Chains A and B, each alone.
Chain A
Amino acid sequence: MAKSPRSGTRALGGIKPSGALAGVVPFFAYTTVFLLIPTLVVIIAAFVSDGHLTLGNVRALGNAGFLTALKQSIILSALTAIIGAVVGGILAYAVSTARPDGILKRFITSLCGVLAQFGGVALAFAFIASFGAQGMISAWMKKAGVGPSSTLWLYQWDKGVLLVYLYFQIPLMLIVFLPAVEGLRPQWREATETLGGTTWTYWRRVAMPILFPSFVGATLLLFTNAFSAYATAAALVSQAQPLVPLQIAGTFTSETVLGQANVGKAMALAMVVVVAIVMAIYAWLDRRSSKWLVR
């Protein structure tokens, strides 16, 4: 690649092609050590035990504990992805009708950026502080006479954890989906109206087909996001290990159990495989949807 003829002028010359390559060596060396080697370690070590090639680690994944965690992780990720995508999608459309550089849009996108990408432990704390035994919202619910009597639900993967996950999934949907919604041109709506179409026709026949690939793509992205999340779940669930990331962390901290570390790597590999499948579908969809968006 680097040998391709360049149209560099003399001022930029002075260093031979091999010298030019030297300029990117630090970058590649660094990413090799801290990104590529770790990825390879996970892939290779999943099949190695005591220096031998083995399928034992992968076979160990067949135990009931891991399969349950995998199933629950997938259900949780799928549910929060779909709910998050629908709610976040509606929100994204609502925001897109606001003034492009208005304060509302800046406020919402910044808030969503924080909740989607920087939250982690703090988000779990927010829910514990609000819905816990002494929480503000629990107190309201008690006063109103609704809601469960105990706060145990908050720490269960299919109730509390699901709610907290939505708290970062909806914002992520807004961030990912907003550009697609903004790609809808007012002219398309006007054209529909000129041709006698109603609002319904516009949505059914124009906007939805255009947005559909982006929407599905964003949903897949939300899925992988929830699937990979660790910090929030770890801060909320302390008793059991109902999700795959928590199980991996479990094998990581209890390395006294022989061979557990490599089982952890096999679990990590399983995660990578799931994420890779979803991402492959996503990449394919994104290529289709980008046809209608300005790059």
Chain B
Amino acid sequence: MSQRAAVRRKQAIFRWVTVSVVLAFFMLPLIGMLDFTTKVRRGGRTMATWKTLMNVSEISTKYPALKEGFIASIGLSVITVVIMLALLVPTMTWVRLRLPGMSRLVEFICLLPLTVPAIVLVVGLAPVYSWVFYLFGESTLWLGLAYVVLVLPYAYRALDAGLRAIDVKTLSEAARSLGASWFRVMWRIVLPNLRTAVLSASFLSVALVLGEFTIANLFSRRNLQVAMYQLGKSDAKISVAVGLLSLVFAFVVLFAMSFVGAQRSGSRRRRRPLAAAVAPAPAGTGSVKEPS
């Protein structure tokens, strides 16, 4: 019994030492960012950068590129989330109900973007986008079509966890036998039941889109990250402040989601994200029961 306690104590000490050291490494550059944005040349502090950042009218007159990028990123987030939901929710529900044999294929496709480097995707997308820009005009917002692909793996996992937690089959059988159309089933039955999963898929997508740089930069489009990157060369303070803000925003999203998603019964699956991603183990080999 006392040996247990000793092990516990040792573990606790080890935990705190390790976590403190690594956290210091994680936090120092972030604190460095805060320090950089508030520094005055001869020592002392100023909140001028942050005040500018919070002042919408000043931002839009002094940094039109930043405003343009920010608006583009917001638009891109909305487009990406809408297309992602419209594409994934019906398909995943439908596959679950009517085409269970296809679930592996759908999973494989959804997780594929994890293994294709974004830079490679850009190279391959170039001809596709030369058509898109040619047919529909040069708007930055078309990038949303490619962003849907980028967010597929994350959105898929979130929605999959949600679908696991509800009994789609019984719900839709009930609705169908009461005379609901398939559209009604989707809109009034499945979607409300997937509320949490849809929310987390959407927030993850938004965070991802707000942080996207590679595709926009190489297609010479200006989103938030590209604007920040370009601004870094002329006005470092404001761009570092924007960078810090975007990191904090992503953190708040993930931290909040860790509370929301925790009680879902599908969470066990979500806890091995990348492992499940690359090796959608075929039935029979991967599902070896635990030999305990």
The reply to whether B22 and A87 form a contact with Cβ atoms under 8 Å apart is: yes
Given contacts A126-B33, A179-B271, contact A2 B101 (CB under 8 A): yes
Task: Find A252's partner among B31, B146, B218, B274 (CB 8 Å cutoff).
Answer: B218
Q: Which residue of A lies closest to B259 (CB)?
A: A106
The reply to whether A111 and B288 form a contact with Cβ atoms under 8 Å apart is: no
Which residues of the partner chain A approach B95 to less than 8 Å between Cβ atoms? 24
Q: Which of A8-16, A63-71, A143-151 contacts B (4 or more CB under 8 A)?
A: A8-16
Q: Which of B60-68, B71-79, B111-119, B187-195 contacts A (4 or more CB under 8 A)?
A: B111-119
Which residues of the partner chain A approach B239 to less than 8 Å between Cβ atoms? 125
Which residues of the partner chain B approach A175 to less than 8 Å between Cβ atoms? 273-274
Q: Is A110 an interface residue (CB 8 A)?
A: yes
Inter-chain CA distance A265–B255, complex, in Å, is: 39
Q: Which of B51-59, B133-141, B158-166, B206-214 contacts A (4 or more CB under 8 A)?
A: B206-214
The reply to whether B118 and A228 form a contact with Cβ atoms under 8 Å apart is: yes
Inter-chain CA distance A292–B28, complex, in Å, is: 37
Q: Is A158 an interface residue (CB 8 A)?
A: no
Q: Which residue of B lies closest to A172 (CB)?
A: B274
Inter-chain CA distance A106–B271, complex, in Å, is: 12
Q: Is A242 an interface residue (CB 8 A)?
A: no
Q: Is B5 an interface residue (CB 8 A)?
A: no
Inter-chain CA distance A35–B156, complex, in Å, is: 15
Q: Which residue of B lies closest to A264 (CB)?
A: B123
Q: Interface readout for B17-42 with A: 1 if CB under 8 Å, 0 if not? A: 01100110110111111011101000
Q: Is B46 an interface residue (CB 8 A)?
A: no
Q: Is A240 an interface residue (CB 8 A)?
A: no
Which residues of the partner chain A approach B285 to less than 8 Å between Cβ atoms? 287
Given contacts A130-B29, A179-B271, contact A24 B87 (CB under 8 A): no
Task: Find B19's partner among A20, A108, A115, A248 (CB 8 Å cutoff).
Answer: A108
Q: Which residue of B lies closest to A98 (CB)?
A: B15
The reply to whether A122 and B246 form a contact with Cβ atoms under 8 Å apart is: yes
Q: Which residue of B lies closest to A244 (CB)?
A: B119
The reply to whether A111 and B251 form a contact with Cβ atoms under 8 Å apart is: yes
Interface size bracket, B side: 35 or more
Q: Is B199 an interface residue (CB 8 A)?
A: no
Q: Interface readout for B225-240 with A: 1 if CB under 8 Å, 0 if not? A: 1001100100010011
Q: Is the interface of B mostly helix, strand, loop or mixed?
A: helix
Q: Which residue of B lies closest to A112 (CB)?
A: B26
Which residues of the partner chain B approach A245 to less than 8 Å between Cβ atoms? 117, 119
Which residues of the partner chain B approach A90 to less than 8 Å between Cβ atoms? 18
Inter-chain CA distance A91–B269, complex, in Å, is: 22
Q: Is A200 an interface residue (CB 8 A)?
A: no
Inter-chain CA distance A37–B116, complex, in Å, is: 13
Inter-chain CA distance A101–B122, complex, in Å, is: 39
Which residues of the partner chain A approach B254 to less than 8 Å between Cβ atoms? 109-110, 113-114
The reply to whether B91 and A91 form a contact with Cβ atoms under 8 Å apart is: no
Task: Find A170's partner among B15, B22, B33 (CB 8 Å cutoff).
Answer: B22
Q: Interface readout for A177-214 with B: 1 if CB under 8 Å, 0 if not? A: 01100100101000001000001000000000000001
Inter-chain CA distance A235–B229, complex, in Å, is: 7
Which residues of the partner chain B approach A228 to less than 8 Å between Cβ atoms? 117-120
Shortest beta-carbon distance from A265 to chain B in Å: 6
Inter-chain CA distance A292–B22, complex, in Å, is: 28
The reply to whether B19 and A104 form a contact with Cβ atoms under 8 Å apart is: yes
Q: Is B45 an interface residue (CB 8 A)?
A: no
Q: Which residue of B lies closest to A40 (CB)?
A: B124
Inter-chain CA distance A134–B288, complex, in Å, is: 56
Inter-chain CA distance A39–B122, complex, in Å, is: 10
Q: Is B128 an interface residue (CB 8 A)?
A: yes
The reply to whether B255 and A110 form a contact with Cβ atoms under 8 Å apart is: yes
In the complex, chain A residues 194-253 whose Cβ is within 8 Å of any chain B Cβ: 199, 214, 217, 221, 224, 227-228, 230-231, 234-235, 245, 248-249, 252-253
Inter-chain CA distance A294–B225, complex, in Å, is: 39
Given contacts A31-B109, A271-B120, 16 further A-B contacts (CB under 8 A): A6-B100, A12-B173, A23-B90, A26-B87, A34-B128, A35-B149, A35-B152, A110-B257, A121-B229, A129-B33, A176-B273, A193-B3, A217-B275, A249-B218, A291-B290, A293-B290
- Closest A-B pairs by Cβ, 4 of them: A130-B32, A38-B124, A228-B117, A122-B243
Q: List 17 A-B contacts (CB under 8 A).
A: A20-B99, A26-B91, A27-B91, A35-B121, A38-B121, A95-B19, A104-B19, A107-B255, A109-B258, A120-B225, A121-B243, A122-B244, A127-B29, A170-B22, A228-B117, A272-B120, A295-B287
